[in-house]
Amino acid sequence: MSLLDRAILKEMTVAFILGLMVFTFVLLTNKILRLVELIVNKGVGILTVLQLFLYILPYSLVVTIPMSVLLATLATFTRLGTDGEILAMRGAGLSLSRLSRPAVGFGLVASVLTLVITIWILPFSNHAFKNLVFRMTHQQATVGIQEGVFNSEFEGLILYVEHVDPKTSRLEGVFLVDNRNPAERRVVVARSGQFTSDPQNLRMGLSLSQGSIHLSAAELTGGYRLLTFSDYQLSVDVGRSLVDPMQRPPGEQELTLAELRERAAALRAQGRNYHPPLVEFHKKLAIPISCLLFALVGVPLGSRIRKGGRGLSLVISAGCALGYYMLIVAGEGLGDRGLAPEALVMWLPNLLIALGGGLLLFRGECYPATFREALFAPAPSASAAGPRS
Strand order in the sheet with 225-237: 150-151, 157-164, 171-178, 184-198, 203-217, 225-237
Q: Residue 127 — very low, low, confident or very high, per pLDDT cuts 50/70/90? A: confident
pLDDT in tens, 236-283: 765 554 544 445 554 577 788 889 999 999 999 999 999 999 999 999
- 210 touches 194 (CB < 8 A): no
Residue 152 is given by DSSP the state -
- 120 touches 284 (CB < 8 A): no
H/E element holding 326?
helix 309-336
Q: Residue 102: CA atoms inside 13 Å, Cβ hemisphere, count? A: 18
Is 90 exceeded by the pLDDT of residue 67?
A: yes
Q: Which of 138-152, 182-196, 294-308, 351-365 shows the lowest mean pLDDT across its residues?
A: 138-152
Is 90 exceeded by the pLDDT of residue 52?
A: no
Q: Quick one: what percent of the chain has pLDDT higher than 70?
A: 82
Q: Which residues contact 227 (CB under 8 A, 6 or more apart)?
A: 212, 213, 215
Is 90 exceeded by the pLDDT of residue 112?
A: yes
- 60 touches 24 (CB < 8 A): yes
Q: Which of 140-154, 278-292, 353-367 shows the lowest mean pLDDT across its residues?
A: 140-154
Rounded Cα distance, 207 and 312, in Å: 57
The segment with the largest mean pLDDT, out of 187-201, 308-322, 329-343, 366-380, is 329-343
Structure confidence at residue 2 (pLDDT)? 85
Structure confidence at residue 373 (pLDDT)? 45
Rounded Cα distance, 129 and 49, in Å: 11
Is 90 exceeded by the pLDDT of residue 76?
A: yes
pLDDT in tens, 187-232: 999 999 988 877 666 677 888 999 999 887 655 555 678 889 999 9
Nearest to 162 by CA among 173, 170, 151, 153: 173
Structure confidence at residue 169 (pLDDT)? 74
| Interval 323-329 mean pLDDT | 93
Structure confidence at residue 167 (pLDDT)? 73
**Alpha-carbon distances of 113 from 5, 20, 127, 289, 330, rounded to whole Å:** 21, 13, 20, 10, 25
Helices of type H across 159-256: 250-253
Please say whether the dihedral angle defined by the alpha carbons of residues 316, 18, 90 and 359, taken in this order, is positive or negative.
negative
**Alpha-carbon distances of 289 from 31, 123, 279, 316, 347, rounded to whole Å:** 27, 19, 16, 19, 10
Other Cβ atoms less than 10 A from the Cβ of 81: the count is: 19
Task: Provide the residue type at 304 as one letter.
Answer: R
3-class secondary-structure state, position 381: coil
| Interval 151-157 mean pLDDT | 77
3-class secondary-structure state, position 50: helix
Backbone angles phi, psi at 207, to 5 degrees: -95, 115
Is 60 exceeded by the pLDDT of residue 31?
A: yes
Q: Where are the domains of the chain?
A: 3-136+249-368, 155-235
3-class secondary-structure state, position 221: coil
How confident is the prediction for the chain on average, in pLDDT? 82
Rounded Cα distance, 150 and 174, in Å: 11
H/E element holding 259?
helix 257-269
